[in-house]
Structure 1
Amino acid sequence: MTADLPIDTSGLPGPLIADLVEQAQCAGAGRLALVGGAVRDLMLHQVHGDPWRDLPDLDLVLESSCVAFLHDFRQRLGSERVSEMHLHEQFGTAEATVDGVLLDLACARTETYPAPGENPQVVEGTIEQDLARRDFTVNAMALVLRREGSQQLLDPHRGREHLAKRQLAFLHKASVTDDPTRILRGARYGARLGFRLAPEALAQIQSTLTRWPWAWRVGDPLDAVPPALGTRLRMELELLLDREPWREALRLLQQWSAMPLLDGQLQQDLRLSRRLVQGVRLGLPALAVLVAAAADPLSLASRLQIPHQQQIWLGELIACRDWLDREVSLEAWTGWDAFDWTQRLEQQRWSPEAVALAVLDNTSFRRPLLRWWGRWRHVTSPVSARELMAQGMRPGPALGAALRREREQVLRQMR
């Protein structure tokens, strides 16, 4: 559907839009269009009365080389207005900061998936073809920018209809098969905008995950993981946890029975949101907390390729859980004081982050683990090494032992 509508674009940076249109026309380039979330939020604000959401950036599609376009644009405007520019000719994309506004510019393209979950193969195309490769109909609208000011709205996938219903509908029947990260994007948009999945979209998610159409399955060798089940999935998770109302997003993923995309145990975990809240309060990365709740944290961490340091913490967490279950539970640990717990934990040489992750397990040992993490591990000798040397003690093993004894005395008086 194409329409010339009196769309109020006052929420957009008007002078910058005019400069971009003029550049496209002077260069003899094809159509230039605003796409994605900017168009969706503009329509929500103007037509449906939603509060205006400040745009962190503008996504633009050009039916020409966006690299050449942006290079010429900077030459015309100067480096003061175009303060940053990054060109990615091999991908047909570019980014620039113009008048303080971040622009993401891409060459219009069409794409095909060589195999489910793999990265798509892209070739240049039209704006209409570019819209057809997107995730949801509400994100598949474009505002073709024209000098005369009457903007042309392209809506080939009934995006306005789904906006009115506040629904998220996939563009085609293989949307999830091609790219399962679209499920997480759906949870992000649902949490942020208050949208529901269209019935056919929910059916597609559940039927796709039930039959698992990807060649790789959980438990298979990790070197065969397709990007949409590995690194790209991690990137979507990071966006969900860092930028969105993640508690609502995780609730939606469980409601849609979509957690097996990550790990089946996460689907049944009723404490997942509480675990994340507590973990963030302890200063832990939200993604590491989420992965720690999986049935096989190390495998999931490796599949998602989360930071190596966090993978080390998860390995230590597994060892800590085993120690608590096999050794501590068999001893008379209920009589242990601060010193007993501190001595035993520090003998293991686990990082504080691993112990903090163990705190979140809601085990019988939660309280002493939390006390060690928050208080006991920070205890030092009340007498400094300098003071002991002033009393005649020489540097060496005896000095270290004396400091440890002083610390021990403090710990034995703590609860």
Structure 2
Amino acid sequence: MPTYTVVLTHEHADFDALASLLGASLLFPGAIPVLPRQVNRNVKAFLALYKSHFPFIEPQHMPRGHVDLAILVDTRTFNAVKGMDAQTQFLVIDHHSVDEPLPPGWRTWEDALGPHQVGANTTLLVERLMAQDADLTPIQATLLALGIYEDTGGLLYKSTTHRDLRSAAWLLEEGANVEVIHRFTHYPMSEAQQRLSQQLVDNAEHLQIAGQSIVIATAHAPDFEDELSALAHKLRELFDPDGVFVIVDLGDRIQVVARSSTDAVDVGAIAEALGGGGHARAAAALIREGDLQSVRDRIVALARRTVRPPITVSQIMSRGRPQTLTPDVTVGEAARLMRRYGYEGFPVVQPGENGKEEIVGLLSRREADRAMDHGLDRRTVGMLMRTGAVSIREDAPIEELHRLMIESGWGQIPVVNERGELVGIVTRTDLIKLWGKEGAVMGGTQPETTQLLAESLPPVQYRVLRMAGEAASEMGYMVYAVGGFVRDLLLERIDRQTGPLDVDIVVEGDAIRLVDRLRSRCGGRVVAHRRFGTAKWLLHEAEHPITCEALLQEEGSLPPHLDFVTARTEFYTAPTVLPTVEQGSIKLDLHRRDFTINTLAIVLTPDRWGELLDFYGGLADLRRGVIRVLHSLSFVDDPTRILRAVRYEQRFDFHIEPRTLELLVDAVPLLDRVTPARIRHELDRILQEEAPEKALLRLDELGVLARIHPRLRPGPGFSAHCARLRRRLADPADPLAADVDEAIERLYWGLLVYPALPDWLPPQRATRRWASPADAEDEESESVAEEEREDVEEELAERLRLRGETRRLMDRLRHLKAHRDELAQPELPPSRVVEILDPAGATALFLFSILEDAAPIQERLQAYVTRWRDVRTALNGKDLQRMGLRPGPVFGRILGQLRAALLDGRIPPDEAAQRQFVAE
């Protein structure tokens, strides 16, 4: 019996389904594309003209044989055709997002390509055809293009992606006919559709749900056999709602077709709950039980649970009183302020008749610059400003802001509260940044963020943040979790089992007053810095215990402290200097961060708990794994961001985006101006990473380490040395590692700096012979003259202002390196080995054993640690004194020679033999 591969799609097929049938048949030679029993009216008209150009067959014309593979396109459901049985395998090519898993044994392209984030299913197939450099006929290209154009609304729906556009462009190159595409994507309604359309308009119900306009239109049409999707589009064009639901009783079933103009009205989720599917802006469901009223009631109930409020001005504005001008300020002063803060315009205000501040105009930067060019710097703002009392309420929807900007021509709109008080400003840039935002950020409720907070934070710390949000709300403040905590939360890199988490909290208001209120309620102690608007809430002091029962009853331990900071802005007066800081809004506070992935914030006030703020595209960069600066002077303002960029890149396995990398490389010379303490701090942060060698090798590749010092370069085998260090520290049986009690960053520093250290000692250090570790410490403390110290070691220590412990480690490693060749000599007696190794200390010896692989050196290190190090003489200074010798430096030399004789086996270990050795 012959076997076949068939391609199937859903009933009521649109052009995306039909084009997907064609695309799959082209990619799987010999596959039979089977038409569904019902197709949309415009598809039917197309097939009436062009069906003979395609390999489609009707289900009843399937040849005899067995279907061994069924390819489902643009769907996961199907009507079986002749030849299918339980042995038939399935491959799904579907761009719709569906939470339910596939039946066992079914395969999907998603396994190889990842999530299908495209607007049209046809795009997935066209991309494969492009990769194969397929040669299409014009009619094939036209049908494939129809699939993309219809499902993306002519490439204008928000679900449209760059992949759809690229595929459509290739199809046009292959000869797709745009006139045919236009004709069949703008197909006129039939008489039956027109009659039903009028019934739907007459029965349309207009609702306001969560601030969104929803239209629900119902109708009875038992004899209707046409498609309903065109009617949903017509109603959307007529009423311009945020969401429209068409519910039609077809006699034996009820058909629901839904469309949305915003992701906040997720019609796909509602349709899925009804047993259908689709995506956020287009979906459908077929219901075989119930009546129009019950289906309508279910849709309303589902909408009330899922529809999100529209984005309002308050969610994109810069909050906090903006910089303002008065009409009598000079244009020169206004221009100076604009340059200082980087603003594009300032509202102009003056006292009103009742003493209340009134907005009277706006001065834009363009107008100020033009005035300065004409020498009008002494003119007043009132002479040049745009006059008008233009403002907008903070709770106004974004659509109202659009309208106001168009009507007024103002690019910066002052924002007022319900009392008419100036509370912020919103700009064209804020609107533009809404475009293309992923996942309804910038004010959309984030259920996944709320869930992550609950699951990731220890219960007691979760309660603390809840209490901080509640207290802030009572005071009229907004409070946010920001920075690395939010980034790591979204990356799911936080484990509540590790204990209290470090959370930075930004307050739009007075952070010190807020923490004082928390202290009065819960105990603890506050350390405030009024100059900077910061407050540290100390939670673990015995003299100031936590007294709040709500916290004492929760599981887990509190963090030692929580840091609160008043939202602020900053500007740099010169490259590499520390910034000047002033109070600002959360938006301005986030703008001063180093990279976009660190600009995300989570609202902690109760009415917006868990809401994710993303003003600068941080979420998209987080998802794409991108390190990106916020502006082109970021590395110039603070060159230490160069080291942080590489640290984040390597920690998260991200990549620095190309433009940011260019700016980074250009700014490397500016590291010369950075203080040693700031560079050392960033290097320490890198050395504390789980695998710091990755970041250090990347810094070396970019020329950063060489800029800090020309000899600061990872040596050959550096990665292997770091891995060996970690492995040996974890081995309890390693005798050299057992005595190491040192900060991990200092150990890595030793591995990094060792190749730069000279392999010789200054004469004063080379000729000295130490009899004991204590003598070695004395010699180290005496040190040698600065001018005799080798330049590389001295320059590195000076460049980074290295602390005493680190400096001492460098000295000891240098000592060992200087004796490396001697330690490798096979005839070297144990006494000389001990003389060399005694002053080195456990840490330097451990690192030396990692860095030097020579077998004689390894053997001597092991022998020193396990046998020779603990060899001691039976005699001491008092014994020598009783033998008639006068105390003095000679005692040290005698005991040293005695120990050397014992080590080399020249005398037995008993006391009598040692006394005889001394006597001789």
TM bracket (short chain):
0.7 to 0.9
Distance 1:114 1:376 in 2: 62
Q: 480, 483, 508: which one pairs with 1:63?
A: 508
Judged with a 3 Å threshold, the aligned counterparts in structure 2 of structure 1 residues 350 and 234 are, in CA distance, closer, same or farther, namely same
Q: Work out which of the residue numbers 678, 694, 700 in structure 2 matches 1:248.
A: 694
2:799 counterpart (295, 298, 303) = 303
Deviation at 1:270, TM superposition (A): 3.1
Q: Which residue of 2 aligns with 1:133?
A: 592
1:276 positional shift: 4.7
Aligned partner of 1:33 in structure 2 is 480
Query: RMSD of the alignment, in Å?
Result: 3.8
Q: Which amino acid aligns with 2:681?
A: M
SS at match of 2:607: coil
Question: Tell me, what secondary structure is at the counterpart of 1:114?
Answer: coil
Q: 1:256 to 1:371 in 2, by over 3 A?
A: same
- Counterpart in the other structure of 1:222: none
Question: Contact conserved, 1:34 with 1:58, CA < 8 A, in 2?
Answer: yes
One-letter code of the match for 1:137?
Answer: T
Please give the secondary structure, in 1, of the residue aligned with 2:687: helix
SS in 2 for 1:186: helix
Q: CA deviation at 1:59?
A: 0.8
Q: For 1:297 and 1:86, how far apart are their aligned partners in 2?
A: 40
Q: For structure 1, which segment, 120-129 or 286-295, has the greater mean C-alpha deviation from structure 2 after superposition?
A: 286-295
Give the 3 Å change call, closer, same or farther, for CA 22–171 of structure 1 in structure 2: same
Letter in 1 for 2:810: L
| Structure 2: runs of 5 or more not aligned | 1-433, 435-441, 540-550, 552-557, 730-736, 758-791, 907-920
Residue 4 of structure 1 corresponds to: 444
Query: Are the aligned partners of 2:809 and 2:844 in contact in 1 as well (CA < 8 Å)?
Result: yes
Q: Which has the larger displacement, 155-164 or 188-197?
A: 188-197
User: Higher relative contact order at CA 8 Å, sep ≥6: structure 1 or structure 2?
Assistant: 1
Distance in 2 of aligned mates of 1:203 and 1:366: 45
TM-score, normalized by length of structure 1?
0.77
C-alpha displacement at 1:324, in angstroms? 4.6
Residue identity opposite 1:411 in structure 2: L
> What is the CA-CA distance between 1:384 and the residue it aligns to?
4.3
Task: Name the CA shift for 1:142/1:198 in 2 (closer, same or farther; >3 Å).
Answer: same
| Cα distance change, pair 332–194 in 1 and its aligned pair in 2 (3 A) | closer
The TM-score normalised by the length of structure 2 is 0.38
CA offsets 1:58-95 (integer angstroms, 9 cap, x no match): 111112332232122101222xxx3x543333333222
Matched, 1:96 2:537: yes
Q: Which secondary structure does the structure 2 equivalent of 1:95 belong to?
A: strand
Cα 1:373–1:70 shift into 2, 3 Å: farther
How far apart are 1:303 and its partner, in Å?
2.3
SS at match of 2:443: strand
Alignment map for 1:183-262 (pairs within 5 Å):
183-209=642-668, 212-213=669-670, 216=672, 225-227=673-675, 230-262=676-708
Letter matched to residue 803 of structure 2 = P
- Correspondence for 1:340: 832
User: Which digits, 9 at most, give the CA deviation of each residue in 1:278-314, with x for residues without a partner?
Assistant: 6775636236413444472332222222212322443
Partner of 1:86: 527
The aligned counterpart of 2:903 is 411
TM-aligned CA distance change 1:197 to 1:332, over 3 Å: closer
More displaced 10-residue stretch of structure 1: 154-163 or 140-149: 140-149
Aligned counterparts, 1:253-292, within 5 A: 253-267=699-713, 269-276=715-722, 283=740, 285-286=746-747, 288-289=749-750, 290-292=752-754
| Aligned counterparts of 2:808 and 2:714: Cα–Cα separation in 1 | 26
Q: CA 1:287 to 1:332, structure 2 compared with 1: closer, same or farther past 3 Å? A: closer
CA positional deviation for 1:351 = 6.3
State which of 20, 25, 37 in structure 1 corresponds to 2:468. 20
Compared CA separation, residues 241 and 202, structure 1 to 2 (3 A): same
Alpha-carbon distance between aligned partners in 2 of 1:25 and 1:206, rounded to the nearest angstrom: 45
How do 1:113-192 and structure 2 match up within 5 A? 113-192=572-651
How far 1:243 sits from its partner (Å)? Answer: 4.4
Q: CA deviation at 1:319?
A: 6.4
2:713–2:753 contact (8 Å) kept in structure 1? no
C-alpha separation between the residues in 2 aligned to 1:268 and 1:309? 21
- Partner-residue secondary structure (3-state), 1:57: coil
Query: CA 1:138–1:278 in structure 2 vs 1: closer, same or farther (change >3 Å)?
Result: same
Report SS of the residue matched to 1:335. coil
Instruction: Return the offset for 1:124.
Output: 1.4
For this pair of structures, how many residues does the alignment match? 386
AA matched with 2:630: L
Cα distance in 2 for partners of 1:359, 1:299 equals 26
Q: Report Cα offsets for 1:89-144 as digits up to 9, x if no partner.
A: 33332222455034221121112223322222211111111111111111101122
Q: Could you say if the C-alpha distance between residues 318 and 247 of structure 1 is closer, same or farther in structure 2, counting changes exceeding 3 Å? A: closer
Q: Does structure 2 retain, via aligned residues, the 8 Å contact 1:341–1:372?
A: no
Describe the shift of the 1:332–1:265 C-alpha distance in structure 2 as closer, same or farther (beyond 3 A): closer
Q: Partners in 1 of 2:807 and 2:881 — Cα distance?
A: 45
- The alpha-carbon distance between structure 1 residues 257 and 334, as it changes in their structure 2 partners (threshold 3 A), is same
After superposition, the Cα gap between the structure-2 partners of 1:377 and 1:130, relative to the gap in structure 1 and judged at 3 Å, is farther
Matched AA of 1:19: M
Distance, in Å, in 2 between the alignment partners of 1:75 and 1:57 is 22
Deviations 1:355-393 (A, max 9, x none): 766666649795588468746772432424399579967
Distance in 1 (CA, whole Å) between partners of 2:511 and 2:826 is 67
Contact in 2 for aligned 1:298/1:314 (Cα 8 Å): no
Identity of aligned residues (%): 26
* CA 203–56 in structure 1, closer or farther in 2 if over 3 Å, else same: same
What does the per-residue CA deviation read over 1:308-332, in whole Å, with 9 as the maximum and x for residues that have no partner? Answer: 23224435655665x559xx77x99
SS of the residue corresponding to residue 130 of structure 1 reads helix
The whole-number CA distance in structure 2 between the counterparts of 1:354 and 1:150 is: 52
Q: How does 1:258-407 map to 2 (within 5 A)?
A: 258-267=704-713, 269-276=715-722, 283=740, 285-286=746-747, 288-289=749-750, 290-294=752-756, 296-315=792-811, 317-318=813-814, 324=819, 335-343=827-835, 362=852, 366-367=857-858, 370=861, 374=865, 378-385=869-876, 396=887, 403-407=895-899
Structure having the larger proportion of residues in helix: 1
Task: Determine the C-alpha separation between the residues in 1 that align with 2:808 and 2:824.
Answer: 30
Offset at residue 198 of structure 1 (A): 1.8
* Pair member with larger Rg: 2
Contact 2:601 2:613 (8 Å CA) reproduced: yes
Contact 2:445 2:608 in 1 (8 A): no
Partners in 2 of 1:157 and 1:340 — Cα distance? 64
CA contact (8 A) 1:355 1:369 kept: no
- Unpaired stretches in structure 1, ≥5 consecutive residues: 217-224
